[in-house]
Structure 1
Amino acid sequence: MTSEQAYYNTGYKKSISDTHAIRTVENSVEYITNVLQPDFKVLDVGCGPGSITIDIAKNYLSQGGSVIGIEPTPEVIDTANNLKQSIAADVDNVSFQIGSIYKLPFDDNTFDLVHAHQVVVHLEDPVKALKELARVTKPGKYVTVKDGDLDSILIYPPKYDVLKEYQSKGALNRGSTDLKAGRKLLSRAIEAGYKPSNITTTTSTLSFAGQKETKKTWGDLLIKRVETGGEVFVVDDEKKNEEAKQEVIKVLQEWRDDETSVWSAINFEITYKKA
């Protein structure tokens, strides 16, 4: 049976959610602005802590436009509502509710834009989910999906290569994450019934380098996530897993403070105009 929430399958951890809360339209999903219009009715599926959802509402919608963010986990919805209250209490065109990507609680042909960012990568049945995204999209309107490709991560200098190894292990041990999901996104969309001639494909790069403040922020968030997020690097051996965690924390600290260090990964995006 397909799990409604494979990503937080061992329970919600705020330190994991916090690594998603720095996301905005500009730094994470700028490609959606190619089709997003101020009067659109938008659905943000797998919205996480809601930072992108709120940004869409505040800075990209007007003229009656609105956005709903959905997640299957109540704690994540609580986190999103708390963020809204703290940074956008006066914004009335954004809301959050519980919902599953496999059975969206909306009628056919409801939304002008249905969006999923770094969601399909973690799903047990990505094709079923992609079909559902298209179902609630109006004919002639848009589905936008972006997936990371964890297998493409590049870290430099080589002494930090262990970070990629452990990130892959942590992702795989969550049970559903596909390390090559990004490169598979187009073929999965076509399998889900998306008309190939109506799909636009793009790529973007996540990159942290040098001494930029964003790199320090990312490093700090990753360290906190390893410390308290319940990440599992070694299965069925608590002692070895703890040793691995401490090694990851030490190397992350060194990488964060190294002015020569780099972290980069490819992301794949599709924009589908529903036939």
Structure 2
Amino acid sequence: MPESTVIYTHGHHESVLRSHSWRTAQNSASYLLPYIKPNMHILDIGCGPGTITLDFAILIGPTGHITGIEPSPGDVLTQARETAASRGITNVEFKIGDIFELEEMFSEQTQKFDIVHVHQVLQHIDRERVSEALMQMRAVTKPGGIVAVRETDFAAMTWFPVSGGMAEWVDTYQLVARANGGEPNAGRRLVSWALKAGFARDKITASAGTWCFSTPDQRDWWSRLWADRTLSSNFKTTTLKSGLADEEKLNRIADTWTEWGKAEDGWFAILNGEIICRVD
């Protein structure tokens, strides 16, 4: 397997996996749930620690099968396998795989997938190759199946109280993500990307989903998570390396997150674009 074609801005620091492990099919893929049926074969690209993947595995039942892939080896796939074992889920496999090599990877597989799913991945790949990635996803989807995508839109995030420090955070994040070649405002572009990938407009169903953090526990969790990401994850490394911020600025952003988490009236909302693309 060649070096990954995905430059993941966050990496797999503990603070990142803390967020990914919170994700479930219900809170992160509810738009897709009506389409999932027993006995299906599903491909989950960028599966991370596998929490969404394993929820899908339960929904398709023991005679269905799901494959979760990540672009590079590491502890995250080990964690996914261990979680599957601890939950007694056996209709799943986790393996190394690249979104741009799906046709090659599954060329010997006799049955294509009923659903090919990706969550918070397209924003991190080369923005000039997103449509190519979607074409790869379509190529391994059976006729009558669907390609499903959900992506955050950073510019559409909103919060209270109003804070210049939070605006500094989101502006810095977008600069770093684009320096890595990605598109942090992917959510609003999904329909456009799907059209460029060759999907007809009448085969694309678009929607939007949200995450909201407001209760004391939610604020504490979300603010600590982002303060830790800012100072400890790959985000810090790539930000400093690119010269887009210095230590002082990153410390200021982390402090902003900590202060927001303490605000009794604190509220943070994230908009996610979603598409279901039907394959002929």
Is contact 2:11-2:235 (8 Å) kept? no
1:11 Cα deviation from its structure 2 partner: 6.2
Which of the residues 118, 121, 127 maps onto 1:116? 118
Which of the residues 238, 249, 272 maps onto 1:267? 272
Gaps of 5+ in 2: none
Residue 130 of structure 2 corresponds to residue 163 of structure 1: no
Residue 194 of structure 2 corresponds to residue 195 of structure 1: no
Judge which range, 48-57 or 73-82, deviates more: 73-82
DSSP 3-state at the match of 1:113: strand
Q: How many residues align?
A: 268
1:191 Cα deviation from its structure 2 partner: 0.9
**Structure 1 equivalent of residue 19 of structure 2:** 19
CA–CA distance in 2 between the matches of 1:9 and 1:210? 28
TM-score (ref. length: structure 1): 0.89
1:189-226 deviations in Å (ceiling 9; x for gaps): 11111122111111112221242x23322222222222
Residue 50 of structure 2 corresponds to residue 74 of structure 1: no
Matched letter for residue 92 of structure 2: V
1:12 Cα deviation from its structure 2 partner: 4.7
Matched letter for residue 72 of structure 1: P
Specify whether residues 14 and 218 from structure 1 end up closer, same or farther in structure 2 by C-alpha distance, changes over 3 A only: same
1:19 Cα deviation from its structure 2 partner: 2.2
Matched letter for residue 222 of structure 1: W
Is contact 1:172-1:178 (8 Å) kept? yes
1:97-135 deviations in Å (ceiling 9; x for gaps): 011100111138611111001111111111110001001
1:259 Cα deviation from its structure 2 partner: 1.5
1:10 Cα deviation from its structure 2 partner: 9.1
**Structure 1 equivalent of residue 42 of structure 2:** 42
1:126-184 deviations in Å (ceiling 9; x for gaps): 111000100110101111111111111112211243332333244334x0221321111
Is contact 2:40-2:65 (8 Å) kept? yes
1:234 Cα deviation from its structure 2 partner: 4.8
Instruction: Name the % identity.
Output: 30
1:26 Cα deviation from its structure 2 partner: 0.8
Is contact 1:65-1:93 (8 Å) kept? yes
**Structure 2 equivalent of residue 151 of structure 1:** 155
**Structure 2 equivalent of residue 214 of structure 1:** 218
TM-score (ref. length: structure 2): 0.87
Q: How does 1:175-190 map to 2 (within 5 A)?
A: 175-190=180-195
CA RMSD, Structure 1 to Structure 2 (Å): 2.3
CA–CA distance in 2 between the matches of 1:51 and 1:67? 12
DSSP 3-state at the match of 2:6: coil
1:251 Cα deviation from its structure 2 partner: 0.9
CA–CA distance in 2 between the matches of 1:274 and 1:248? 44
Judge which range, 11-20 or 190-199, deviates more: 11-20
1:63 Cα deviation from its structure 2 partner: 5.2
Matched letter for residue 112 of structure 2: T
Judge which range, 98-107 or 229-238, deviates more: 229-238
CA–CA distance in 1 between the matches of 2:146 and 2:10? 33
1:78 Cα deviation from its structure 2 partner: 2.5
Matched letter for residue 256 of structure 1: G
Specify whether residues 141 and 11 from structure 1 end up closer, same or farther in structure 2 by C-alpha distance, changes over 3 A only: closer
